[in-house]
Structure 1
């Protein structure tokens, strides 16, 4: 077989139960974290604030989830598509292209308040799927209001205080 540019075509594609046993798919029993990132666009303004943000304005927000748990017999903790499904159907619907002051619960729509609300929504969604994942829990949610400014909620702060 001729190698070019460091690429090669495999001689034989690995087959389950022939080249690898099902019992070998799970390499470990450690807690691991998976992370997924999303963006959304929304408008808001702040109350009791004497700065630019007291006026109606918008942001392209970026949210990052860190979710930990234990892998299943396949070596998967949680499919990234499952995180996306929760985001799309249970969280983003309240945020994307919305006026946050009317779609979120009564609160000042600061990044600090919003990140806790997003944390609670994801944590609740995981609790409703308790049998789907082994020990899955939200470890952190990071909400960027601008490319260089974010608020963060961490599990130890949300559950121990």
Structure 2
């Protein structure tokens, strides 16, 4: 049916494709990337198992939207990873969240808003707004377990 085929000729920039063809459209698009971190916490004013110190392997999923640059990229996934690693994960991974986050009950609902705000603030710097055209956080989803998550969305965050 479908056999493996080696391409006859690898495209070359400025010969087979022109630079002004790299950007296909002017539409807003969203990229998404997920990360995991391990952390310990406990809940205050809560009667149940979570009042005791315990840990989770959390998963965070970001949806970031913006406009394409001249190469046809909204944002390099590696750049998103760098922001996460340098500006957000340092407060979360292998930490006691009750100590490293601002004063709050460390529920997934509180944490997802904090993560949203940190990423949005990181994207709003003058340098990043020039580099990533119109970049903004569309959503952040924080999984506390494989089947339970809290979410913050731009439309909800901007209502306040």
Tell me if both proteins adopt one fold, taking TM over 0.5 as the criterion.
Answer: yes
Q: Which structure 2 residues correspond to residues 100-115 of structure 1 after superposition, within 5 A?
A: 100-115=97-112
Q: Which structure 2 residues correspond to residues 53-68 of structure 1 after superposition, within 5 A?
A: 53-68=50-65
Alignment deviations for residues 64-115 of structure 1 (CA, whole Å, 9 cap, x no partner): 0000001111110000011000000000000000000000000000000000
1:6 CA drift (Å): 2.3
Distance 1:5 1:66 in 2: 35
Q: Which structure 2 residues correspond to residues 2-81 of structure 1 after superposition, within 5 A?
A: 6-81=3-78
Q: Please point out which of 86, 91, 96 is paired with 1:89.
A: 86
Q: Flag structure 1 segments of 5+ consecutive residues without an equivalent.
A: none
Distance 1:160 1:6 in 2: 53
Q: In terms of mean alpha carbon deviation, does 127-136 or 55-64 score higher?
A: 127-136
Distance 1:63 1:44 in 2: 17
Show the counterpart of 1:135.
134
Show the counterpart of 1:144.
143
In angstroms, what is the RMSD of aligned CA positions?
1.0
Q: Flag structure 2 segments of 5+ consecutive residues without an equivalent.
A: none
